Structure 1
Amino acid sequence: MKVGYARVSTDEQHLDLQLQALEGAGCDVVFSDQGVSGAIFERPGLTRALRRVRRGDTLVVWKLDRLGRSLGKLVQVVGVLRSKQVEIASLSEAIDTATPGGTFLFHLMAALAEFERSLISERTRAGLAAARKRGRRIGRPPSIPEGELASLIEMAGSGFIDIEKAADQYKVHPRTLKRHLVRAITARA
């Protein structure tokens, strides 16, 4: 069975071209989403199409970007379909995973998506390392400023601190204050 899926991003766009192409490709049933971005993965029409396809079926789209806007999401959708032994066909790109060439092209796209994820991760790590080298603090700002923590440590050392009141003053949980004090005292020792 051929199951078609069509999508347009805005309500002003029309599905006509896609629907005609899917009908011309011999789709037995067609599901669609209108006014839904490809960045959103939870789409009613796509969900119904994915539930409808069975082993040996083919999900047909006008273009692969109708399934997902990012390569990563597209690979994820196609991976789910392939695990169910459902083929994917794209009319515009002439991709059909039922053929060796279509399967090769899909694997090539998956490899490119993995490469892209690796590059993004590498650039992120390099950017964080460079920021640390410049002295930038990474993460949330401390809940208790450094200077005030020093006075709290002195008060704790002399025994003149009420943890509950101090925690309330800094709007933190008493355990958070204790954790800060233990870290600071351990670091000084």
Structure 2
Amino acid sequence: MRIGYVRVSLNEQNWDMQLDALKERGVEKIFQEKMTGKRDDRPELQRCLDTLRKGDELVIYKLDRLGRSTFKLLELTKHFEEEGIDLISIMDGIDTSTPVGRFFFRTMASIAELERDIIAERTKAGVKAAKARGRVGGRPETPKKDLERALRMYDCNEYSVPDIVERTGVSKATIYRAIKKRNEKTGGIVNG
């Protein structure tokens, strides 16, 4: 079965050109979505992916309709290959049902994997260099006096956690971590 997916950005209003191109290719069912391509939680794309079965073809107008990042595109195409689903991108001239199309995507996947590995190596080297200079990554530690104040406010049961966050600047996660740590030490007993 030929299944299509079209997407326009929130500020882009017209998907007629995409629909016409997919219908010209004999697409039987089309999923349409008006949403940014940066988001991975696109409901119509998910419905489209859930509909695809072995032997189906997913037809799109252009690769950027599926996703904006190379990593996301390669993740999807790997899934398609594993499930026996072919991908056809009309404007990019890609058709993974052909040997050349499969070769093209495997080559792209290899390049993307190399790029991820290089980025990971650079990141590790940067962290190592920063540590050698005495710098430590991560968020700055919450000042002890601010955390103690937040815990006192929590213990008096007069403030909600959002109120405490707003008044002290201590994050909700930090407050809950401190409460959990304190409860583990004291067995849940709070010193008033």
Q: Give the TM-score normalised by the residue count of structure 1.
A: 0.73
**Is the aligned partner of 1:25 residue 2:25?**
yes
Q: How many angstroms apart in 2 are the aligned matches of 1:176 and 1:123?
A: 39
What amino acid sits opposite 2:41 in the alignment? Answer: E
Q: Among the aligned pairs, what percent are the same residue? A: 42
- Counterparts of 1:96-175 in structure 2, within 5 Å, are 96-142=95-141, 172=178, 173-174=181-182
Partner of 1:69: 68
Q: CA deviation at 1:64?
A: 1.1
Tell which deviates more after alignment, 91-100 or 11-20.
Answer: 11-20
Q: Which runs of 5+ in 2 are unaligned?
A: 152-177, 186-192
**Is the aligned partner of 1:12 residue 2:12?**
yes
Q: CA deviation at 1:131?
A: 1.2
Partner of 2:171: none
Q: How many angstroms apart in 2 are the aligned matches of 1:176 and 1:136?
A: 31
What CA RMSD, in Å, does the superposition of the two structures yield over aligned residues?
2.6
For residues 62-121 of structure 1, what are the alpha-carbon distances to aligned partners after superposition, in whole Å with 9 as ceiling and x for unaligned?
A: 111111110111111112222221110110111111000000001011111111211211
Specify the SS of the correspondent of 1:4.
strand
Q: How many angstroms apart in 2 are the aligned matches of 1:95 and 1:51?
A: 22
Q: Give the TM-score normalised by the residue count of structure 2.
A: 0.72
Q: How many angstroms apart in 1 are the aligned matches of 2:45 and 2:149?
A: 52
Partner of 1:162: none
Q: Count residues in correspondence.
A: 157
Q: Which runs of 5+ in 1 are unaligned?
A: 146-166, 178-189
Q: CA deviation at 1:176?
A: 9.0
